[in-house]
Structure 1
Amino acid sequence: MSIYEVHKSPSHFIKKRFQKNKPAVVSTIYIIALSFVAVLGYLIMPDDSHFANDGLLEVPKKPPMFTVKVLKQRKNIHIPTPSVFEKIIEGEENRYQDIPIVGDPIIERDSVFFIVYPGLEKRSLHTTTRLELSLPLIDVVKSIYASPSQKLGINLAHNYVIRKDDVIYLDGLQNVRTVSKQELLNEFNEKCLQMRTFVLGTDKIGRDVLSRLIFGTRVSLTIGFISLIISLSIGILIGATSGYFGGVIDRIAMWLMTITWSIPAIMLVVAVRLAIQSEDIWVTFVAVGITMWVDVARVVRGQILSIKQKDYIEATKALGFSNYKIIMHHILPNILGPLAVICASNFASAILIEAGLSFLGLGGPPTMPSWGTMIKEGLSELTPTGHWHLIIFPCLAISLTVLAFNLIGNGLRDAYDPHSNSNN
């Protein structure tokens, strides 16, 4: 140690020891990157619809890197544009009805002719032909007012009138619009045709696996964070009170810890959900947090029992400091090391508990994608010949994230303990 490092704060040496632990540093970078993915969410998801549920029923259970051409038909409803913040939180409804097609569509007589993937077949005695479907070009490109209206005339079958060079139509807000046929064709080529690649494939109803995996990252990290806050709040309060005051308070706290410890975590979560009578995701946050406070309380109680006998604590009592100030300013700062380690461990445990609950159907709403839900749905579709991507990607996400938090916990333990073998 150089003479310049003698006057450094303890946090400097903790940081320095942590940086020497390469697996912990790599894990920290991974968790930070995962956090950015979770926060951005809908902004980077290929399917930015709410809960990434905008699937293509015609392309179920397709393998990774599957590519298909999509015809995008404008929906006949007005969909407001959300702000960036609203999109991050809730996503954005797709303005188009996506139709996977085979080959290139053909435009004739103001209509679009196409073949829906994988191609409808009409069999006769000697030949097999594919059936073509058609839609009016104006109905594909523009949002047409869906309810009956007499603004363009009486007894019209549709709220548009096709003329020689242009089309008059009612938009989604019932305003009269006019567009030339050339403008329709240009907009069709620019906005209504798309080659879509599903990087991680599709699930059983054609939803994008990558988008659901990204949203599952948000669910897992959020439940880990909120559960950690709940467990820390309860655990530090009970553990600090029990260890510092002792006596009857300590015996009651230990009895409560023992009772809570004896109840399986899943059973406790189920009991909380039944008591609250709700299936919202926040119930899972609360339930998981309540199951993990005992670990925090035991660590805090044990540390305080050893620290409260130190001379500097006796000195603070002699100086007349309040019990609250002694605990908050002189004891808890000295047990940050064990608390940091238990926080990393509890974060990993919360992710595993949430995945288990979702696998059992006890997580959030059925439509909300989470890693546990994806494993459950993938397992039901897994066959000896394929569909492995439905289960392997969420399993890898859980395994890598839990491993990263455990490695961070090991790194923090070694960083706060200068006498650890790994620091020698």
Structure 2
Amino acid sequence: MAERSNSLTRIALRKFLRNFWGVVSLSFLGVCVLVAIFAYALAPDNSRNANEMHLSLQSRSPGFQVRMLTIPGDEIEQSPVSVFFLGRKTTSTEIPISLVKITDSGIQVTEYTGDESKGLTKNLPLERFPLARSPEQISRYYIEDRTFHLGTDKYGRDLLSRMLIGIRISLSIGFVAVFISLLIGITLGAVAGYYGGRVDNAIMWLINVTWSIPTLLLVIAITLALGKGFWQVFIAVGLTMWVEVARVVRGQVMSVKQMQYVTAAKALGYTNWRIITRHVLPNSLAPVIIISAANFASAILIESGLSFLGIGAQPPMPSWGGIIKDHYAYIILGKPYLAIIPGLAIMSLVMAFMLMGNALRDALDVRSS
């Protein structure tokens, strides 16, 4: 039995690797996961939630460059692990500048305004810059030429950094929501399919009632009941996606429990729990794997929709749906990329999961050659 199982696994793996779009989608999703893990290391703005605002730089085009002066503030102790996963807490002040002049006691800078008007001029003494031993060293340690590769949003924040950190929200909501839906759906589906009778009727009644409620409406209701926030969205989306899993698992279990090896297990006196977990479920989960890929994509879309409506991830936490919400009006104001870029990111991620789900369906179909 073990050899046959391994053989079927190898056959499914070979069939999956022959599917071009399946391999491309899996590779793309692997890159996305790596980007999510190393988001703050890759982001040009690694402050907490990439929330450094510069109102004079609002809505700048991709590739925009400006000189940036950093005025250090009080140090905040943070472990490297905290900086890596949660971003850098800082009290430093960043000022876009257009001119800088060395003085005897420090530097004189003119703030960048973005138009023809002259910005505010400030004199900053050498004492404000601990690493500099002379006014000339201030430019070396505290002034840099910064490029905003995807431009800036309407608050002057780096759009690339917001996009990189926002991918964490989309992938996290998918993982947690799918985990919750699998936990509930497999449990209820297996119990209903194996025991049948009144237990099956009660669970099917619950499934049908939940199924009859529009998904987005149910998610909004649960979110409003639990409150707005990051984890509330996870729970709300997960509690609405278990129904399809339960229906599929129920049907699979009703079919598998008629097999001779299940009858033999009952004759040997095995408990129902052992029969379900050791014999029934392992032979019923192939369709669930496919559904999980589709549910992952659905969870990303639902979270984006909730953020667009303002009841998903709350500011300043970056979310692709929230970025679209902030900038959808710019589509007719001459800067459509502010909404198109996160829209394309959502579309690419959802399409990758759907294509991978299709590839898994073909690979796990024992009837295909």
TM-score where L is the length of structure 1: 0.82
- Corresponding letter in the other structure for 1:38: A
- Corresponding letter in the other structure for 1:65: G
What does 1:82-121 correspond to in 2, within 5 Å?
82-103=78-99, 105-118=100-113
TM-superposed deviation, 1:101: 1.4
Where structure 1 has 5 or more consecutive residues not aligned to the other structure, the ranges are 123-129, 143-178
SS of residue in 2 equivalent to 1:136 = strand
- Corresponding letter in the other structure for 2:223: R
Q: What CA deviation, in whole Å up to 9, does each residue of 1:15-52 have, x standing for no partner?
A: 11110111001100111110011111212111111111
Q: Which residue of 1 aligns with 2:246?
A: 297
SS of residue in 2 equivalent to 1:291 = coil
Where structure 2 has 5 or more consecutive residues not aligned to the other structure, the ranges are none
Larger Rg: 1
Q: Which residue of 2 aligns with 1:315?
A: 264
Instruction: Go from structure 1 to structure 2 and tell me whether the alpha carbon gap of 1:392 and 1:183 turns closer, same or farther (over 3 Å shift).
Output: same
Q: Hey, what's the Cα distance between the residues in 1 that align with 2:336 and 2:116?
A: 29
Task: Give the one of 287, 294, 301 matched to 1:345.
Answer: 294
TM-superposed deviation, 1:119: 6.3
TM-superposed deviation, 1:315: 1.2
Q: Hey, what's the Cα distance between the residues in 2 that align with 1:47 and 1:18?
A: 39
Instruction: Go from structure 1 to structure 2 and tell me whether the alpha carbon gap of 1:235 and 1:60 turns closer, same or farther (over 3 Å shift).
Output: same
Determine if the alignment matches structure 1 residue 59 to structure 2 residue 57.
yes
Determine if the alignment matches structure 1 residue 418 to structure 2 residue 366.
yes
TM-superposed deviation, 1:138: 2.1
Does the Cα contact within 8 Å between 2:112 and 2:119 map onto a contact in 1? no
What does 1:60-79 correspond to in 2, within 5 Å?
60-75=58-73, 77-79=74-76
TM-superposed deviation, 1:381: 3.0
Q: Which residue of 1 aligns with 2:353?
A: 405
- Corresponding letter in the other structure for 2:337: H
TM-superposed deviation, 1:366: 2.3
Structure holding more helix per residue: 2
TM-superposed deviation, 1:120: 7.6
Instruction: Go from structure 1 to structure 2 and tell me whether the alpha carbon gap of 1:301 and 1:197 turns closer, same or farther (over 3 Å shift).
Output: same
Q: Hey, what's the Cα distance between the residues in 2 that align with 1:119 and 1:304?
A: 65
Q: Hey, what's the Cα distance between the residues in 1 that align with 2:332 and 2:10?
A: 53
TM-superposed deviation, 1:413: 0.7
Does the Cα contact within 8 Å between 1:354 and 1:372 map onto a contact in 2? yes
Q: Which residue of 2 aligns with 1:15?
A: 13
Q: Which residue of 2 aligns with 1:242?
A: 192
> Quick check: 375-384 or 201-210, which moved more?
375-384
Q: Which residue of 2 aligns with 1:191?
A: 141
Q: Hey, what's the Cα distance between the residues in 2 that align with 1:38 and 1:410?
A: 24
Q: Hey, what's the Cα distance between the residues in 1 that align with 2:96 and 2:319?
A: 26
Q: Which residue of 2 aligns with 1:212?
A: 162
Instruction: Go from structure 1 to structure 2 and tell me whether the alpha carbon gap of 1:192 and 1:340 turns closer, same or farther (over 3 Å shift).
Output: same
TM-superposed deviation, 1:87: 1.2
Q: Hey, what's the Cα distance between the residues in 1 that align with 2:344 and 2:24?
A: 17
Q: Hey, what's the Cα distance between the residues in 1 that align with 2:119 and 2:266?
A: 88
Matched residue count: 367
Task: Give the one of 34, 37, 41 matched to 2:35.
Answer: 37
Q: Hey, what's the Cα distance between the residues in 2 that align with 1:11 and 1:119?
A: 60
TM-superposed deviation, 1:139: 4.8
Q: What CA deviation, in whole Å up to 9, does each residue of 1:92-144 have, x standing for no partner?
A: 024531111114x101231422221136867xxxxxxx4661222325413xx
SS of residue in 1 equivalent to 2:144 = strand
SS of residue in 1 equivalent to 2:38 = helix
TM-superposed deviation, 1:6: 8.5
Runs of 4+ displaced beyond 6 Å = 119-122
Does the Cα contact within 8 Å between 2:307 and 2:319 map onto a contact in 1? yes
Does the Cα contact within 8 Å between 1:51 and 1:215 map onto a contact in 2? yes
Q: Hey, what's the Cα distance between the residues in 2 that align with 1:273 and 1:63?
A: 36
Determine if the alignment matches structure 1 residue 134 to structure 2 residue 122.
yes
TM-score where L is the length of structure 2: 0.94
Does the Cα contact within 8 Å between 1:102 and 1:119 map onto a contact in 2? no
> Quick check: 340-349 or 106-115, which moved more?
106-115
TM-superposed deviation, 1:304: 0.8
SS of residue in 2 equivalent to 1:227 = helix
Q: Hey, what's the Cα distance between the residues in 2 that align with 1:279 and 1:89?
A: 23
